[in-house]
Amino acid sequence: MLARKSIIPEEYVLARIAAENLRKPRIRDRPRKARFIAKNGACNLAHKNIREQGRFLQDIFTTLVDLKWRHTLVIFTMSFLCSWLLFAMMWWLVAFAHGDMDPSTENTANNTKWTPCVTCVRSFTSAFLFSIEVQVTIGFGGRMMTEECPLAITVLILQNIVGLIINAVMLGCIFMKTAQAHRRAETLIFSRQAVIAVRNGKLCFMFRVGDLRKSMIISASVRIQVVRKTTTPEGEVIPIHQVDIPVDNPIESNNIFLVAPLIICHVIDKRSPLYDISAADLALQDLELIVILEGVVETTGITTQARTSYIAEEILWGHRFVPIVTEEEGVYAVDYSKFGNTVKVAAPRCSARELDEKPSILIQTLQKSELSHQNSLRKRNSMRRNNSIRRSNSMRRTNPSLMVPKVQFITPEGSQSASET
């Protein structure tokens, strides 16, 4: 504004702005990698340019179940309303064709033996009410069908069949949406972060999984997959390359007994995609570890699946999960407030390959950790000792009664020597 009014020269303003920009370092954040699986288990995938949309209508029931609740409720309501209106129009046409809508028939009905197809249906409103009574089998008693019109009997049979089909499909859709397997997966939790630490002399990738409900997951199994972008020797780029990695389980199968939170362990060996990754290389890796927990719900018998993923920023090297299961008065108690808490432990910063080639690295790391632990204990003890001495000295200064009195010793020669004890 000042430069435009020629109060300050424009060259000075531009030079000052350039100098300020040079002083401020420009920090560019690393572009965040798109996750294939979100932390809540949702697939981060968008389907675009699908030309054959009619395939979804071939499996209409699954399509209805996959819809959102607001769309399902709208379809549920409109299916009944449309069927009622459709058959109301048919009943109105039947009555109109038979002459039930003619006012003169109402006068002659008392004198002759003229019988309508449906009694008390004189307008479209009454036909709509009769359609509702037929389909939902209310039967108030005011409107009823007679044996006068075979066409009306056919419409009655057709409406009952269509009403039963609509009830079966829509009620089944509502039931399947309320009893979907992923609803049970909401109470299956995973730790927000995974860790890499030494267990039984091997580097291991570990995470914690737990179930908040008392009803168990039967035949629960855990699978781990590594998703990364790879390039083949022929130059083909595979954006989502999935590799299964084994889970360490003392039992032959991969089934786990998920009665309490468990720490799932993957030993980083020659078969693991993490075999050549060190602590320094982990932050630069463009990979994602997907965890899949499957099992059968004990109460409903429906198979459920819970998913989560860990990217490089969510893997802590040299950490271990704290224990959360304790025994209190003969009952095992689980403290879920510490579910994702970790502590730092001694772990080599090298890769698992280097650790296998040079086992002395692990011994040196443990020795350094032991020495640092001893030094920290010594410092802590010395600090406590110094604090206790300072506290006692301050108490002596503030309280003169605690001061040690001076005592005089008299020698036989009569000389006096004063000493302080």
Q: How far is CA 131 from CA 153, 223, 244, in A?
A: 13, 55, 59
pLDDT at 11: 46
pLDDT category of residue 8 using cuts at 50, 70 and 90: very low
- Place 352 in a pLDDT band, splitting at 50, 70 and 90: confident
CA gyration radius, the chain: 41
Highest mean predicted confidence (pLDDT) among 38-47, 72-81, 95-104, 232-241 = 72-81
Domain boundaries, the chain: 66-178, 182-343, 357-387
Write the CA distances from 320 to 335, 336, 405, integer angstroms.
17, 16, 57
**pLDDT class for 1, splitting at 50, 70, 90?**
very low
Structure tokens at 113: 């033996």
pLDDT of residue 32: 59
pLDDT confidence of residue 90: 93
**pLDDT by residue (tens digit) across 248-275?**
765 556 688 888 899 999 999 888 888 8
Lowest mean pLDDT among 48-62, 72-86, 87-101: 48-62
Confidence at residue 6, expressed as pLDDT on a 0 to 100 scale: 45
pLDDT at 80 over 70: yes
pLDDT category at 50 given cuts 50, 70, 90 is: confident
The CATH code of the domain at 66-178 is: 1.10.287.70
pLDDT more than 90, % of the chain: 19
Question: What is the model's pLDDT at position 20?
Answer: 53
The architecture CATH gives domain 182-343:
Sandwich (2.60)
Tens of pLDDT, residue by residue over 357-378, are: 887 766 666 656 555 655 666 6
Q: What pTM did the predictor assign?
A: 0.65
Average pLDDT, integer, range 309-336: 89
Lowest-pLDDT range of 76-80, 114-118, 228-232, 387-391: 387-391
Question: Does residue 190 carry a pLDDT above 90?
Answer: yes
Confidence (pLDDT) at 88: 93
Task: State the pLDDT at residue 120.
Answer: 82
Output the pLDDT for position 62.
84
CB contact at 8 A, 44 and 36: yes
Give the span between the Cα atoms of 65 and 183, in whole angstroms: 13
Give the lowest-confidence range in 192-206, 286-300, 337-351, 389-403: 389-403
Which of the four pLDDT bands, split at 50, 70 and 90, describes residue 108? Answer: low
Count, in order, helices (H) and strands (E) of the chain.
11, 16
Q: What is the mean pLDDT of residues 56-68?
A: 83
pLDDT of residue 378: 67
Closest CA to 82 of 175, 172, 177, 159: 159
Cβ neighbours for 342, distance < 8 A, ≥ 6 positions apart: 193, 195, 316, 319, 320, 321, 322
How confident is residue 84, by pLDDT bands cut at 50, 70 and 90? very high
Percent of the chain predicted with pLDDT > 70: 77
Q: How many residues does the chain have?
A: 421
For the stretch 139-181, pLDDT in tens is 777 788 888 888 888 999 999 999 999 999 898 888 888 877 6
Q: List, for residues 122-149, the tens digit of each pLDDT value.
A: 889 989 998 998 888 887 777 888 888 8
| Rounded distance between C-alpha atoms, residue 274 and residue 222, angstroms | 18
- Which of the given ranges, 8-12, 54-58, 350-354, has the highest pLDDT on average? 350-354
Q: What is the pLDDT of residue 310?
A: 93
- Say yes or no to pLDDT of 7 above 90: no
Count of CA atoms in the C-beta half-sphere (13 A) of 233: 0
